[in-house]
Amino acid sequence: MFFIDDMLLRSLGITLPGLDMIWTIEQIQKFALKGLYDPEKIKNQIKETRLLYEFGELDRKEYEQKNSDLMDKLDMAMRIEEMNLNSKVDILG
């Protein structure tokens, strides 16, 4: 019921400061998750790590550690993308 009241008030141009703060925090969290768990960004980091290893900038141990960490992060990003946790269903159309 509170959700419906909020939507009615927003349609009239009236907002409640507490709800706006919650919305702002949700948007910041959504943005942070996109930046932290973006599969393309992680794939680029894996490629970059591979290039650094091939050019001798990283030794084998460092490369394997970073690659393992990035692969775990990529796996997590793919799971998040599959579960679609970073987006909500718009019930109003």
Write the pLDDT tens digit of every residue in 35-55. Answer: 888 999 999 999 999 999 999
| Size of the chain, expressed as the number of residues it contains | 93
Q: Is residue 30 part of a domain?
A: no
Q: Is residue 29 part of a domain?
A: no
Full domain range(s) for residue 58:
39-86
**Which one-letter amino acid corresponds to residue 18?**
G
Q: Is residue 34 part of a domain?
A: no
Q: Is the pLDDT of residue 16 over 70?
A: no
**Which one-letter amino acid corresponds to residue 80?**
I
Number of domains in the chain: 1
Rounded to 10 degrees, what is the CA torsion of 67, 69, 71, 75? 180
- Residue 12 pLDDT class (50, 70, 90 cuts): low
Q: Is residue 82 part of a domain?
A: yes
Helices (H) and strands (E) in the chain, counts: 4, 0
Q: Is residue 57 part of a domain?
A: yes
Q: 41 vs 84, which has greater pLDDT?
A: 41
Beta carbons of 50 and 67 less than 8 angstroms apart = yes
User: 22-35, pLDDT tens digit by residue?
Assistant: 777 888 888 887 88
Tokens, residue 84 = 């679609």
Q: Is residue 59 part of a domain?
A: yes
Q: Is residue 92 part of a domain?
A: no
What is the value of pTM for the model shown? 0.61
